[in-house]
Amino acid sequence: MKDVQKNWLMMLAIVFISSALAACSGSSENTAENQGDEEAPDIELNEGNEIVIGVVGDPQSWDPIDTFLIDWSTVATSIFEGLIDRDLDLNLTPGLATEWEYLDDLTLQFKLREGVEFHNGEPFNAEAVKFTFDRLLGEEGATGPQRSNYTSIENVEIINDYEVVFHLNKPDPVLLTKLAGYGAVIVPPNYVQESSEENFNANPVGTGPFKMVSYNRDSQIVLEKNENYWKEGLPKLDQVTFRFIPEATTRLAELQTGAIDIMKRVEISQVETVENNENLTLLDIGSPTVYSLRFDPSQEPLDDVRVRKAINHAIDVDEIIEQIIGGYGNRIATYQSDLSFGFNPNLEPYEYNPELASELLAEAGVEEGTVLDVYTSGEDSTFREIVQAVAFYLEQVGIQLNVNTVEFSTLTSELIPNGNAGHMYRQSWGGWTLDFDNTAYSMYAEGEQWNPSFYDEQVQQLLEASRQTIDQNEREVIFMELTERLYELVPEVNLYQSIDRYAINQRVQNFQPPYDDRLRLEEVSVE
């Protein structure tokens, strides 16, 4: 049986790679096939103290209150800064604030960095901090997606030019890490007030290591060195250009010819091409993003925990990771990556055991041939192949999957929140706060948008308890109990933590791929 399954998955992987190559092609020519069969062209190196980066999408607006898109943070981390920084090793470090202290659970004091200027020469000071958060929490911020992450802030009080106090309306144990996120970056008051909304969207000004000098929508954005940057000797590059190239095959072709120096999101089918080119280096990094097939436990037979456990035991997730995503995924036991605070290292993923799965289904009275509806995104070809593999495994234990493919926006905005996404559905979560609070509350708290039907009294109590203290040791104990309870209840098939891939020209020095997609370029140089 194992050999039959492995052979079937290998054939499925071949089909997936072939279809992915075809889908990525932007013309009638079989570009991907040519890349695999012909010798890669010699790279014509860019010259000068600058680099060009090929990224996927243009977020369209560069105002930090307008977006939650990772593509925004990829670029804008070089333009804007927050009070707290998060380095490439994910440690919280001083940013525009030199130090901070909780005076009590509802009072957070910041001392600000002196001598910092915005790109337009406007001074950074306490007024800029207060303006930023008044704007974020006011009418302008109410129209964007970032505001909800910071509603624990009641107001910001100016003590003097370089000291502020955040007064909170409730304890927020994740506030510090949220302040290191890209929604809380500081903006210049005078410039924002004097600019139209359209102008600030297209011509952002921050305090970061690079400043924007040109922006052509859906084409490219050019950043130049901030000569007055507060970190002495940085940045090392004079210019960084981000080119928006949605097609993976086009990004790789541009990298091979030297038109770009760094390629984001290398497809699995492109890995071998990059590895075989002596001028290129492939880099991979684990990300906070995790993938699952979420259950709707309000529907029979998934209202029986034995059935949910049986489905987990019936699927060989390790084989799916190896054969379909080329090993670029780490198995997860609960719905978070090991980068998340609250990760429980003592829990092991459910083992592949189809015999036990069949026993549990029989105990629960599930009849042979029972049909379950599963919904997935039409834009995610990789996950469609994963669902096909899941369907194969479940068929071996007597369950039939009826696979429904819909647009991503339909799935996430209409079907899931309204409990209309079938018995099971594709779920992915970025976990950008690197704290289980954000994921767990959104997924398991009663009444949340992403949780139309799951409820457990103990889980609800633990979620509320985790938000009542800023003591991280107490929270860790709570999260260990919470993850153990969720592990018992099995609200989803936890699949894998994704691994991101970058390809770089070897002329690029000191580039480290980020865990969270936020490119840090101030230390990057070229030889």
For residue 160, what are the contacts with CB-CB under 8 A and spacing of at least 6? Answer: 126
Q: Contact, 223 vs 78, CB < 8 A?
A: yes
Q: Which token pair is 260?
A: 């770009």
The beta strands (E) that lie in 232-279 are given as 239-244, 262-264
Measure the CA–CA gap between 422 and 425, rounded to whole angstroms. 7
Q: What is the pTM of this model?
A: 0.83
Measure the CA–CA gap between 425 and 451, rounded to whole angstroms. 12
Place of tokens 């997936």: 16
Give the pLDDT score at 45: 53
Residues 274-292: b if buried by 16+ CB within 10 A, e if exposed: beebebbebeebbbbbbbb
For residue 159, what are the contacts with CB-CB under 8 A and spacing of at least 6? Answer: 109, 126, 165
Cβ neighbour number for residue 236 with a 10 Å cutoff = 16
Helix (H, G, I), strand (E, B) or coil at 100: strand
Strand partners, 294: 425, 492
Measure the CA–CA gap between 157 and 412, rounded to whole angstroms. 38
Q: Contact, 315 vs 374, CB < 8 A?
A: no
Measure the CA–CA gap between 278 and 147, rounded to whole angstroms. 46
For residue 192, what are the contacts with CB-CB under 8 A and spacing of at least 6? Answer: 131, 135, 200
Measure the CA–CA gap between 218 and 308, rounded to whole angstroms. 44
Listing DSSP states for 186-226 in one string gives ---HHHHHHS-HHHHHHS---SSSEEEEEEETTTEEEEEE-
Q: Which token pair is 144?
A: 């964007």
Q: Which token pair is 442?
A: 């959104």
Tell which residue, 293, 358, 296, 306, has the closest CA to residue 493.
293
Measure the CA–CA gap between 381 and 248, rounded to whole angstroms. 14
The beta strands (E) that lie in 247-368 are given as 262-264, 280-295, 329-331
Cβ neighbour number for residue 148 with a 10 Å cutoff = 11
Q: What are phi and psi of 108, to 5 degrees?
A: -125, 120
Q: What one-character DSSP code corresponds to residue 234? A: -
Measure the CA–CA gap between 80 and 136, rounded to whole angstroms. 15
Q: Which token pair is 189?
A: 């008051």
- What amino acid occupies position 349? P
Tens-digit pLDDT profile for the chain (527 aa)?
555 455 555 555 444 444 443 333 333 232 222 333 334 444 445 668 999 999 998 998 999 998 778 889 999 999 999 999 999 999 999 999 999 999 999 999 999 999 999 999 999 999 999 999 999 999 999 988 889 889 999 999 999 999 999 999 999 999 999 999 888 999 999 999 999 999 999 999 999 999 999 999 999 999 999 999 999 999 999 999 999 999 999 999 999 999 999 999 999 999 999 999 999 999 999 999 999 999 999 999 999 999 999 999 999 999 999 999 999 999 999 999 999 999 999 999 999 999 999 999 999 999 999 999 999 998 888 899 999 999 999 999 999 999 999 998 899 889 999 999 999 999 999 888 899 998 999 999 998 988 999 999 999 999 999 999 999 999 999 999 999 999 999 999 999 999 999 999 999 999 999 998 999 999 999 99
Tell which residue, 289, 285, 308, 313, has the closest CA to residue 298.
308
User: If DSSP states are collapsed to H, E and C, what string results for 369-428?
Assistant: CEEEEEEEECCCHHHHHHHHHHHHHHHCCCEEEEEEEECHHHHHHHHCCCCCCECEEEEE
Q: Going from the N-terminus, what domains does the chain have, and what CATH number goes with each?
A: 80-193 (3.90.76.10), 286-499 (3.10.105.10)
CA distances from 404 to 1, 472, 527 (A): 28, 42, 51
The conformational region for residue 350 under phi > 0 = left, psi -120 to 50 = alpha, else beta, is beta
Measure the CA–CA gap between 499 and 496, rounded to whole angstroms. 9
Q: What stretch of H or E contains 12?
A: helix 2-24
Q: Which token pair is 257?
A: 């010819």
Q: What stretch of H or E contains 313?
A: helix 305-314
Provide the terminal-to-terminal Cα distance of the chain, rounded to the nearest Å. Answer: 54
Give the pLDDT score at 409: 85
Angle subtended by helix axes 2-24 and 317-324, to nearest 10: 40
Q: Contact, 135 vs 187, CB < 8 A?
A: yes
Give the pLDDT score at 525: 98
Helix (H, G, I), strand (E, B) or coil at 59: coil
- Alpha-helical regions (H) of 25-91: 31-37, 70-76
